[in-house]
């Protein structure tokens, strides 16, 4: 089933989208022009195939859908997302996956500032974001759980793999980086390690998906070394206070 | 060596004491101890916080807690409190942390305003015999109402919530307070036809039955925010700030994150729950609008969305922006509002009194013809029904109470919420302490308080010859200032007594 977004207001578009779900499990959204909140608060195992550029808060609070975006996404996609998958054939704006709780987001190229901040996990609910290109500053800020994978593919020589304040305030979860991160980029709350066999199994799983979605050679991606970045403590500010 | 002096002295009347040891068993601060060798009861004054649990539990009322006579040389500048705090920081190098609201002697404007009453020309009304309306609807109101030829409503009303009284329980998260304390407030809210507020701690499954009475909060940490949480509510409240700690976030220490708190917040066991100071998807009024509408979209425009801010210097301009951003309710939290934990310096020095902020915000919204677009809820230390009455006369639609509700649940204002050792079972997650708070009994006490205050509001309305709370709202002519200067009177928008 196809819904054409055109210049419709987001409210109207979302109403049409929800009506379409009553008839079909899979909906193609055509001619999207920055409409916000697509799939916001929707629960179920529906699929949305998006053509054009979805606006901010794509899939906010979403629970279980699979969204395929044939292009870039704007800011705060996957905001407080509960579950589901977003596959972005392009780049993502700022605050991707803010406070995301489960599910996965795959981005073919780069992400903006504050990607994956405040991601958290609880028991089996472990969110993941896989970034094919580079990331802006504050990647994984306040991160409390889940996995970020940063591949840095197709990087030009002067591109920085990751911006400043990388992992600042991080107190849970793990970030895997393909290549090297200069020490000065790492926030004081995190440390980098060599990857263990278990880490490599995790990485392989995400990279396989990435390569399938975007048609990239798995062996080539895995040919370079990965680093594991994890928090020093799950209570980074535990000693900061004095009770009176 | 501890340089600090004890603040309180535990006095045990030997004639009355029957050495039952209840005080020692009850004191989580270990101020009462049983000597392991002699079996004798002893007191450790240094540990006493004056929570009065022992005083109340002692079967013979043998215990008195006194201000300790140990004193420093008198000095109006270097008070004992400052000397003790410096020693605490010299010991630990830590940022001072406190519980409850700002205790400093700043002016309390409620106490400088007096109410009007009818005499001769406009007869007063007796609420015992005549109908008196305190029902309150909160949410955006339309510009105008259109009716069809048969008098039926054509205008599509924005979502409004009906409250049986203009008083709600303010945000207190599961984590900062116990589940039993939350249950008590939820049940009291249901019994009284009003709302309680989850704070930023998710909604425990035991409270799903109170969904129709729940305000659920969405704050910067987004703890426990998911579709069911948003659906199981009457109002969704975006928390930008809190009166006790404007401009900063919160750290719920990992030691308080037990199995239940972890499940409700959907975060790992024992890890700090960090709420950043800002929402990192909100850097402007336009961004705030984005979050407001994401919540409206997620709940199909069925629920009012509130935005809570701390009362700060430019609240009026911010409130104007919030109204334009599409919020249905603005919550203003004054600098005396309580907290489970706040850095002491922030709590005691940041923010402004709710009375002044409320007057300024109401005035600004009126002057910009925005007042009907939002309901205004005031918070930040309402000690009695007259404070609430005065807030409504200044312009509030309703108020939030929290500290007073906790007092109804047993709180004795010892201000130790941040330690997690609350002997009353309120601000703690320790199972042995939490079970001391019986939710059924405490729900009744909290409901009693609301009913009593609601009745007092009706009495005050009746005395003015007014029979509906709507006629009081923003009716500043019913207020007169006492001992206030011209500037204060002009900000409050009231005349001086005698004028």
Tokens of A109: 């190229």
Beta strands in B390-465 (DSSP E): 398-401
Question: Which residue, among B111, B293, B387, has the nearest Cα to A79 in the 3D structure?
Answer: B293
Residue whose entry in the numeric block shows the structure tokens 């195939």: A49
Which chain B residues contact residue A237 at CB under 8 A?
251, 272, 274
> For A199-235, what is each residue's pLDDT tens digit?
999 999 999 999 999 999 999 999 999 999 999 988 8
Residue A157 has pLDDT above 80, yes or no: no
Distance (Å, rounded) from C-alpha A111 to C-alpha B108?
50
**Tokens, residue A35:** 């409409």
Distance CA A187, CA A179 (A): 18
Q: Using an 8 Å CB-CB cutoff, list chain B residues near A95.
A: 280-281
C-alpha span between B278 and A154 (Å, rounded):
34
Please tell me if residue B84 touches chain A, with a CB cutoff of 8 Å: yes
Do residues A135 and A177 make contact, with C-beta atoms less than 8 angstroms apart? no
The minimal CB distance from A144 to the residues B225, B230, B267 is found for: B267
Q: What is the CA radius of gyration of chain B?
A: 24
CA dihedral A182, A185, A190, A195 (to 10 degrees): -30
Would you say A173 and A125 are in contact if contact means Cβ atoms under 8 Å apart?
Answer: no
Q: 3-state secondary structure string, B192-234?
A: HCCCEECCCCCCCHHHHHHHHHEEEEECCCCCCCCHHHHHCCC
Q: Is residue A241 part of a domain?
A: no
Structural domain for A50, as ranges = 2-236
- Residue with the two structure tokens 């379409």: A20
Q: Does A43 fall in a domain?
A: yes
Token reading at B190: 């249901």
**Interface membership of B6 toward A (CB under 8 Å):** no
Rounded to whole angstroms, how far apart are CA atoms A227 and A232? 15
A6 contacts A26 by C-beta, under 8 angstroms: no
CA angle B316, A95, A207 (to 5 degrees): 170
Chain A partners within 8 Å of B273 (Cβ): 144
B254 in A contact zone (CB under 8 Å): yes
Q: Could you say which residues of chain B have pLDDT below 70?
A: none
Q: How many CA atoms lie within 13 A of B159 on its CB side?
A: 17
| Residue B315: Cβ-neighbour burial (10 angstroms; 0-12, 13-18, 19+) | buried
400-459 of B, contacting A, C-beta below 8 A: 416, 418-419
All domains of chain B in start order, with CATH: 8-94 (3.30.70.20), 136-496 (3.20.20.70)
Cα separation, A158 vs B312, in Å, equals: 45
CB of A101 closer than 8 Å to CB of A131: no
- For residue A10, give the CATH number of its domain: 2.160.20.60
Nearest to A185 by CA among A150, A237, A153: A150
Which chain A positions have a beta carbon within 8 Å of B97's beta carbon? 241-244
Domain total in chain A: 1
Is there a domain that residue A242 lies in? no
Residues above pLDDT 70, as percent of chain A:
100
Contacts of B437 (CB under 8 A, 6+ apart): B178, B180, B181, B184, B409, B410, B424, B425, B426
Over residues A19-30, the pLDDT tens digits come to 999 999 999 999
Closest by Cβ to B298, choosing from A11, A61, A141 = A61
- The confidence score (pLDDT) of residue B249 equals 87
CB-based burial label for B59 (10 Å; 0-12, 13-18, 19+): exposed
Residue B237 bridge partners (DSSP): B217, B306
Secondary structure of chain A in the HEC alphabet?
A: CEEECCCCCHHHHHHHHHHHHCCCCEEEEEEEECCCCCCCCCECCCEEEEEEECCCCCCCCCEEEEEEEECCECCCCCCCCCEEEEEECCCECCCCCCCCCCCEEEECCCECCCCCCCCECECCECCEEEECCCECCCCCCCCEEEEEEECCCCCCCCCCCECCCECCCCCEEEEEEECCCCHHHECCCEEEEECCHHHHHHHHHHHHHHHHHHCCCHHHHHCCCEEEEEECCCCCCCCCEEEC
Distance from CA of B60 to the nearest CA of A (A): 31
Distances (CA, A) of A199 to A147, A203, A205, B271, B498: 11, 6, 10, 22, 78
SS3 B107: coil
**Using CB atoms, which residue from B96, B271, B290 is nearest to A242?**
B96
Q: What is the DSSP letter of B347?
A: H
Distance CA A171, CA A235 (A): 6
Please judge whether A82 and B226 are an interchain contact, meaning their C-beta atoms are less than 8 angstroms apart: yes
Put simply, the answer to whether B294 touches A57 (Cβ < 8 Å) is yes
Q: What tokens does A125 get? A: 């609910």
Find the helix or strand (DSSP H, E) in which B453 lies: helix B439-463
Averaged pLDDT, A110-122:
96
**pLDDT, position A160:** 87
Mean pLDDT of A3-26: 96
Q: Which residues of B touch A56 (CB under 8 A)?
A: 290
Query: Per the CB < 8 Å rule, is A241 touching B94?
Result: yes
- pLDDT score of B206: 96
Model confidence at A173, pLDDT cuts 50, 70, 90, reads very high
Of B220, B294, B419, the CB nearest to A37: B294
| Phi, psi values for residue B403, rounded to 5° | -60, -45
Nearby residues of B79 by Cβ (< 8 Å), 6 or more positions away: none
A4 burial via Cβ count (<10 Å: 0-12, 13-18, 19+): middle
Q: Which among B216, B210, B171, B176 is positioned nearest to B193, based on CA atoms?
A: B210
For residue A80, which residues of chain B lie inside 8 Å, CB to CB?
222, 225-226
Q: Partners of B301 in the beta sheet?
A: none
Chain A residues near residue B201 by CB distance under 8 angstroms:
none
Which pLDDT value is given to residue A149?
Answer: 98
Question: Residue B88: its pLDDT value, please?
Answer: 92
Beta strands in B71-151 (DSSP E): 95-98, 113-115, 136-138
Q: A78 near B222, Cβ under 8 Å?
A: no
- How confident is the model at residue B423, as a pLDDT? 98
- Helix H or strand E segment including B187: helix B179-192
Q: Comparing C-alpha atoms, which of A223, A84, A87 is closest to residue A151?
A: A223
Say if strands B214-218 and B235-239 run parallel, antiparallel, or are unpaired. parallel
| Rounded CA separation A34/A32 (Å) | 6
pTM exceeds 0.80 for this model? yes
Query: Would you say residue A237 has pLDDT above 90?
Result: no
């Amino acid at each position: 089933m196809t819904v054409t977004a055109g210049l419709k207001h987001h409210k109207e578009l979302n109403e049409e989208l929800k009506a379409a779900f009553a008839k079909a499990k899979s909906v193609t959204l055509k001619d999207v022009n920055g409409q916000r909140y697509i799939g916001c608060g929707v629960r179920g195992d529906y699929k949305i195939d998006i053509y054009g550029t979805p606006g901010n808060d794509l899939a906010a609070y979403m629970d279980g859908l699979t969204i395929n975006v044939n292009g870039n996404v704007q800011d705060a996609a996957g905001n407080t997302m509960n579950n589901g998958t977003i596959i972005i054939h392009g780049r993502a704006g700022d605050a991707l996956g803010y406070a995301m709780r489960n599910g996965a987001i795959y981005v073919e190229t780069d992400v903006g500032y504050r990607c994956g901040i405040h991601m958290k996990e609880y028991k089996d609910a472990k969110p993941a974001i896989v970034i094919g290109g580079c990331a802006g500053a504050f990647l994984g800020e306040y991160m409390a759980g889940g996995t970020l994978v940063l591949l840095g593919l197709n990087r030009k020589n002067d591109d920085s793999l990751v911006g400043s304040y990388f992992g600042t305030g991080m107190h849970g979860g793990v970030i895997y980086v393909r290549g090297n991160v200069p020490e000065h980029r790492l926030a004081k709350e995190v440390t980098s390690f060599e990857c263990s066999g278990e880490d490599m199994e995790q990485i392989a799983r995400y990279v396989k998906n990435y390569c399938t979605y975007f048609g990239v050679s798995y062996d080539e991606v895995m040919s370079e070394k990965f680093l594991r970045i994890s928090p020093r403590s799950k209570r980074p500010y535990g000693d900061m206070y004095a009770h009176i | 060596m501890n340089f600090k002096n004890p603040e309180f002295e535990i006095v045990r009347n030997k004639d009355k004491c029957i050495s039952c040891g209840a005080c020692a068993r009850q004191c989580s601060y270990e101020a009462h101890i049983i000597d392991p060798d002699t079996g004798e009861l002893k007191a450790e004054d240094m540990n006493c916080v004056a929570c009065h649990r022992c005083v109340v539990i002692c079967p013979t009322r043998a215990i008195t807690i006194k201000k300790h006579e140990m004193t420093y040389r008198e000095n109006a500048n270097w008070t004992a409190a400052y000397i003790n705090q410096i020693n605490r920081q010299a010991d630990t190098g830590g940022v001072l942390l406190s519980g409850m609201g700002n205790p400093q002697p700043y002016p309390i404007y409620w106490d400088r305003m007096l109410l009007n009453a009818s005499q001769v020309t406009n007869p007063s009304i007796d609420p015992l015999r005549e109908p008196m309306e305190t029902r309150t609807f909160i949410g955006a109101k339309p510009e105008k109402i259109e009716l069809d030829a048969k008098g039926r409503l054509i205008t599509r009303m924005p979502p409004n919530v009906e409250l049986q009284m203009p008083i709600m329980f303010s945000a207190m998260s599961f984590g900062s307070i116990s589940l039993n304390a939350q249950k008590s407030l939820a049940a009291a809210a249901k019994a009284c036809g009003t709302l309680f507020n989850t704070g930023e701690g998710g909604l425990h499954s035991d409270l799903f039955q109170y969904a129709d009475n729940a305000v659920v909060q969405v704050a910067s940490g987004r703890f426990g925010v998911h579709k069911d949480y948003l659906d199981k509510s009457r109002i969704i409240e975006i928390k930008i700030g809190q009166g006790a700690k404007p401009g900063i976030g919160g750290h719920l220490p990992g030691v308080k994150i037990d199995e239940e708190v972890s499940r409700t917040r959907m975060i790992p066991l024992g890890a700090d729950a960090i709420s950043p100071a800002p929402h990192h998807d909100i850097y402007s009024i336009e961004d705030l609008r984005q979050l407001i509408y994401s919540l409206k979209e997620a709940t199909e425009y069925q629920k009012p969305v509130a935005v809570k801010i701390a009362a700060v210097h430019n609240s009026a301009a911010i409130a104007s922006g919030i109204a334009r951003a599409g919020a249905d309710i603005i919550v203003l939290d004054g600098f005396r509002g309580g907290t489970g934990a706040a850095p002491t310096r922030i709590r005691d020095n940041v923010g402004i009194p709710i009375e002044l902020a409320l007057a300024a915000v109401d005035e600004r919204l009126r002057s910009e013809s925005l007042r009907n677009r939002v309901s205004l809820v005031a918070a930040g230390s309402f000690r009695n029904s007259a404070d609430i009455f005065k807030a409504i006369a200044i312009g509030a639609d309703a108020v939030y109470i929290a500290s007073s509700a906790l007092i109804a649940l047993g709180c004795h204002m010892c201000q130790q919420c941040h330690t997690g050792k609350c002997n009353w079972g309120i601000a703690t997650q320790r199972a042995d302490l939490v079970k001391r708070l019986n939710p059924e009994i405490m729900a009744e006490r909290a409901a009693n308080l609301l009913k009593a205050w609601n009745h007092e509001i009706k009495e005050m309305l009746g005395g003015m010859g007014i029979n509906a709370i709507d006629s009081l709202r923003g009716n500043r002519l019913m207020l007169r200032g006492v001992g206030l200067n011209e500037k204060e009177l002009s900000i409050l928008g009231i005349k001086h007594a005698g004028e």
